[in-house]
Structure 1
C-alpha cells in the first residue's frame, strides 16, 4: 500500500486460484494513516456475460472514510445516522407497545381490535339515509344501481324473466344460480313490468355474489362477454382495490372489498324481498362466516331475528333473518368484552 499527501494506491493480485492480472485501485483523495489497520470489502460482479461488468470490482465499509470525497463521506454519515435512527425508532415502538399492553391489558386490546374491524366495515356500506320516512329510502335503489346500469340489465335479465316453473326446479341441479336467487324466482310477479324489474335485480345480485368469489382480477371484463360492459366497469371500479405486484398493477378483491360487496348484496336483497331477508341463505351464498355477515347486517341497522328456514332450504334448522324497519335501531358493535357474571 502506498500513501501520499493527497493520493493513495492499492494493488490486488487476486485470490489463491485467481490467475487474472493484477488489479490496481487508485484513490485521488485522502491519506492513509496506518496501512496495517485497514478494513475493506471487495465485491465482484456476477454478470460474466456483459463485457463491461465481468471485470468490475467494487472496493468499500473504511475506504470511504480514508479516501472518499467530501460528498461520499457525507453520504456515509447520512446512512449511519439513518441506521441509528431506525434502531432508535424500533426501540421506542417496542417500549410504547409494552407500555400499552401493560396499561390496557390483552383483553382490552382484543376488544379494541374487534371494534376497529367493525368500524372498517361501516366505511364500505352503501349511503345510508337515516332521516328516511320509509324503509325503501334508507338505502335508495338509485345508490345501488344507476339508471344507465338498470337499462343495461334488461338484456341479460331476460333469461330469468322467461323461466318456467319446470326450468326453475332444474336450476339447483345446474348450480348456475345462487340459492337466494333460486328461492326468489319461485315467487316472480305476474305483472310484466314488476317481473322484469325483479329479474334485473336478481341477475345483478347473482353477478355481485359470483364476482365476490374472485381474488385477483386479470381481465377488463371479469364476468365475461355476456355481462354488459357498464356492469363490468362498475364491478372493477367500485368493488376492487388496486395493488402493485411483480411490476404490474392488479385489481384485487380484498377483505374490505368483500365486505363492501356483501353490504350492497344485502341492500339490494332488501329491496327485492320487501325489506326482510334470510341472512343465513345470503351468508352461505357469499361463503362468509356467520359472525361476519351479522356484523355487516348490524352495521346496516337491521333488526336480527331467528326462525326456521324456507321450505327446501334448511326448513329443519334455524336461520338468521334481517329486517329493515323504522325507526332504525342504534348500532351496537359485537366483539366487545363479555359482561362479568354477578357474584352471589
Structure 2
C-alpha cells in the first residue's frame, strides 16, 4: 500500500535559489540536459520596479538564447497568471512548491552584440533584428536590397539636414518679413506667367492689355489670308457654320454683326479667326506638330509656331515628346481669349459664352477675370432665360480682396 503524500507551499525560493519555466520561440530542444542556464538579477534591490528584473541566458553548442521578464520582449502572461515549480522529496513523499516565472527564450546572434549591452539589443525593433538576420544569413540579393535601403535612408537624412540648414541660413540672413515679401512677389510673378502683360497705370482701357501684346504686327499681317473666310462671309454661310458648329459660339455670334466699313471688318475678322483657334487649341490635350490639331495646314507658320510655343508645354510619353495643353495652359489661353474679346467688343464681353466655349467652370473663368482686374456684372441672355456674367474693363482698375477662408460647420 502506497504511503500518504502531501505538498507544502514555500513561496519565493530562498536566497541563491531560483525557479523558472522556459519555452523556446523557435522550436523544441532535443537534448535539454546539455544546456547551461544562467540567471541574472537586478542589483538595484531598493527600487521596487527594478528589483524583480531577471535575465535568463542559455548556451548550446550552436546558439545562445536569452529571455527577460521586463521590457517589450517580456511575456504578458506573467502578470495575468501564476506559475509554480514543485520539488518532490522521494523519501518523505512531500512536495515543496515555489513561485516561478515563465521565460520565452529567443536565439541571440552574439557576433553582433559583443560590443553592446544585452539590454540595447533587446530594445531593437523587429525591423532592425530582421536586418541583422539578413546580414548574417541572407542571400546576395537580400543583402543588396538592404544596403540600397540603408543608403537611401542616409541620403534622405543628409538632404533633410541640408534643407534645414539652408532654410535657417536664409531666415537668419533675410529675416521673416523679407521672406514674406519675396513670397508675395513670387506669387504675383506666377500669376503674370498666365495673364497677358497688364499696364495697371494706363489712362485708357485699350492701353491696359495692349493689342500688340496679344497679336504682334507680323502675326497680324499673316492673319489676312486665313481670315478672309470671315471677311467676306455671307448670311447663308453663317447659317451653315451654325448648323455644322464649325466655330465657337462667340465667333458665330460676332459674325452676325460684322461692321460695314472694310477696314474695321477686316480687323474684326482677323481677331475672330485668331480667337477661334485659341478656343480650339484649349480643347486639345496633345497638339501634333505635323497637323497642329484643328488649325489645319493652312494656318500661317508664325501663327502656329506662336500658339504652340506660347500655349503648350512639352511632355514625354511612349518614347516621344508631345506638345500638351496642361491645366495652367488652359487658364493662360482663357486669359488671352478674354483680353482679345475685350478688344473686339469695346472692352465689354460675355464671360458666360466664353466659359461655355472653353468648357471651363463658371468659378474658374470668374477667377481669371478678377485676376485680370475686370468688373463683373450680370446680364440676361439673348432669350432672357438665363443669366450671363459680363466682364467690363474700366480704369482705374478695381481691386479685389482675397476671400477669407472660413471653416465649414458640420451638420448635426
Q: TM-score of the superposition, structure 2-length normalised?
A: 0.55
Give 1:266's aligned residue: 338
Give 2:355's aligned residue: 283
CA gap 1:87/1:153 in 2 versus in 1, 3 angstroms: same
Map Cα deviations across residues 61-107 of structure 1 (whole Å, 9 max, x no partner): 45x8xxxxxxxxxxx968624324538989xx9xxxxxxxxxxxxxx
SS at match of 2:363: helix
Give 2:222's aligned residue: 152
Bigger drift between 138-147 and 81-90 goes to 81-90
Give 1:255's aligned residue: 327
| Deviation (angstroms), 1:333 | 3.9
CA gap 1:339/1:309 in 2 versus in 1, 3 angstroms: farther
For the pair shown, which has the larger CA radius of gyration, 1 or 2? 2
Give 2:285's aligned residue: 215
Q: CA RMSD in A?
A: 3.0
SS at match of 2:225: helix
1:337 to 392, 405, 409: 405
Map Cα deviations across residues 239-283 of structure 1 (whole Å, 9 max, x no partner): 001122233222111100000000000000000000000000000
CA gap 1:309/1:119 in 2 versus in 1, 3 angstroms: farther
1:305 to 374, 377, 382: 377
Answering whether residue 238 of structure 2 is matched by residue 140 of structure 1, we say no
SS at match of 2:238: helix
CA gap 1:249/1:162 in 2 versus in 1, 3 angstroms: same
Alpha-carbon separation, structure 1, partners of 2:246 and 2:366: 26
| Deviation (angstroms), 1:332 | 2.7
Gaps of 5+ in 2: 1-134, 164-185
CA gap 1:128/1:328 in 2 versus in 1, 3 angstroms: same
Give 2:276's aligned residue: 206
Give 1:39's aligned residue: 137
SS at match of 1:126: coil
Gaps of 5+ in 1: 1-36, 42-58, 65-75, 94-115
Map Cα deviations across residues 90-132 of structure 1 (whole Å, 9 max, x no partner): 9xx9xxxxxxxxxxxxxxxxxxxxxx99985553100000111
1:316 to 385, 389, 411: 385
| Deviation (angstroms), 1:235 | 1.0
Q: Which has the higher strand share?
A: 2
1:130 to 200, 203, 221: 200
1:243 to 315, 333, 356: 315
| Deviation (angstroms), 1:39 | 2.6
Whose RCO is larger (CA < 8 A, sep 6+)?
1
Alpha carbons 1:121, 1:256 under 8 Å: kept? no
Alpha carbons 1:201, 1:272 under 8 Å: kept? yes
Equivalent pairs counted in the alignment come to: 249
Q: TM-score of the superposition, structure 1-length normalised?
A: 0.66
| Deviation (angstroms), 1:168 | 1.9
Alpha carbons 1:177, 1:206 under 8 Å: kept? yes
| Deviation (angstroms), 1:315 | 3.0
SS at match of 1:270: helix
Alpha-carbon separation, structure 1, partners of 2:248 and 2:241: 9
Give 1:176's aligned residue: 246
| Deviation (angstroms), 1:181 | 0.7
Give 1:327's aligned residue: 396
| Deviation (angstroms), 1:323 | 0.1
Alpha-carbon separation, structure 1, partners of 2:255 and 2:363: 28
Give 1:229's aligned residue: 301
Map Cα deviations across residues 156-177 of structure 1 (whole Å, 9 max, x no partner): 1001111112322332111011
Alpha-carbon separation, structure 1, partners of 2:141 and 2:265: 77
Alpha-carbon separation, structure 2, partners of 1:164 and 1:194: 17
Alpha-carbon separation, structure 2, partners of 1:122 and 1:292: 17
CA gap 1:132/1:79 in 2 versus in 1, 3 angstroms: same
Give 1:28's aligned residue: none
Map Cα deviations across residues 169-217 of structure 1 (whole Å, 9 max, x no partner): 3321110111111111111111101100000000000000001111022
